[in-house]
Amino acid sequence: MTYTPPKNLKRYAEILKQKLPAQFRISQNIRLEFSKSDTTQTLWELHDEGIRELHRQIVDRTPPDEITRREPSLLDLKTELAERIIQSCTLCERLCRVNRREKERGYCGVEGVSRYASEFLHTGEEPELVPSHTIFLAGCNLRCVYCQNWEISTSPQIGEPMLPERMIETITLRHLQGSKNLNLVTPTPHTHNILKTLQKLSINIPIIWNSNMYYTEETARLLEGIVDIYLGDFRYGNDQCAIELSDAPEYREIVLRNFRRAYHSGEILMRHLVLPGHIECCTKKIIDLVKENIPHIRFNLMFQYRPEYRAHRYPQIDRYLSAGEKEAAIQYATKLEDLLI
Ligand code: SF4
């Protein structure tokens, strides 16, 4: 059974009204027999079976009050797979293959235990999302020279440890305080701990994957049945800019591949931060890619760039956007017309 997600965040709106379950709740509800002694290949085959059942339940619109937590479940299986992946880590396309359970660190610097720098009800995100329970996870698998959150992204050891039991209490409390969703910022290196937290979370809340989208196909498979909205950045329209400014080889192919996959497993709110001097090579190229490959998504053209962190070393981006650049970006984005927010 093929599932085609709606566009413009319609399913998300139904989860908010408690008419439909969040995807992780459906994954909790799907019982799958497996054991820790099964081979990884066997687990992936079972996983595909579970995803077919997930699609059936989404299409059938299983109501939230029919969801129970079964054991072992598709979500338990995903958690086991993620735990195996981090023992030779390939969660993202850096493919470090370090054993994070043994406290080895790869490019992102995050060990087996995740940490978060802050969590709060964010009112400054897109209108559909606020108030959004935003958790800023420590460390990052990209190195953007102009990173606006560099104090968090370059310090994987700061903040509080992300312990599943405590996180469940915090998420539940924030939901009582009015959060519409759980918004995980820079989540990829923390996928295993996020899954562990969601295993026992019993509230029906949409999961937002606030990501640079630079993850592997295996990780993309794990996210299917977990993520309701991919709040994904698409920064560069070519690899040269991505290598120069984010040290991210094969960026365009990887990020486009993951957006294409996300298009068939959840809803998308894409963010494009317009960079000074990058209208032709990045902004226009990305708008063309969206129109050709993943039309009718929510697209947010962002103009809040400011030269931060190491931007002063790169003359082209060591300034604010000009009025002409903003105008050119908006003009070109009218190709996407009603999709802009
Ligand atoms: S998540 Fe971190 S350790 Fe794992 S592949 Fe990516 S950068 Fe390397």
Residue range 47-59, pLDDT digits in tens: 999 999 999 999 9
DSSP class of 282? I
The burial of 33, by beta-carbon neighbours within 10 Å (0-12 exposed, 13-18 middle, 19 or more buried), is given as exposed
The burial of 314, by beta-carbon neighbours within 10 Å (0-12 exposed, 13-18 middle, 19 or more buried), is given as middle
User: Which helix (H) or strand (E) element contains residue 76?
Assistant: helix 74-85
Residues with C-beta less than 6 Å from any ligand 1 atom: 89-92, 94-96, 98, 106-108, 110, 141, 188-189
Ligand 1 atom closest to Cα of 94? 5
List the chain residues with pLDDT less than 70. Answer: 1-2, 337-341
How far, in Å, is the centroid of ligand 1 from the Cα of 321?
32
The domain defined by 10-339 carries CATH number 3.20.20.70: yes
Give the integer Cα–Cα distance in Å for 88 and 298.
35
Give the integer Cα–Cα distance in Å for 272 and 92.
21
Ligand 1 atom closest to Cα of 89? 4
CA-based R_g, the chain, Å: 19
User: Which helix (H) or strand (E) element contains residue 119?
Assistant: strand 115-122
* Beta-bridge mates of residue 119: 135
Give the integer Cα–Cα distance in Å for 31 and 50.
8
Sign for the CA dihedral angle at 51, 93, 167, 203 comes to negative
Counting ligand 1 atoms within 8 A of each CB, the residue from 93, 97, 98 with the most, and so the one to mutate, is 98
Give the integer Cα–Cα distance in Å for 143 and 125.
23
Counting ligand 1 atoms within 8 A of each CB, the residue from 83, 90, 143 with the most, and so the one to mutate, is 90
| Nearest CA owner, ligand 1 atom 4 | 89
Counting ligand 1 atoms within 8 A of each CB, the residue from 83, 89, 98, 250 with the most, and so the one to mutate, is 89
| Nearest CA owner, ligand 1 atom 3 | 106
The per-residue pLDDT for 130 is: 97
Q: Are 274 and 283 in contact (CB under 8 A)?
A: yes
Q: Are 185 and 231 in contact (CB under 8 A)?
A: no
Q: Which tokens is 39 given?
A: 């081979």
How far, in Å, is the centroid of ligand 1 from the Cα of 221?
17
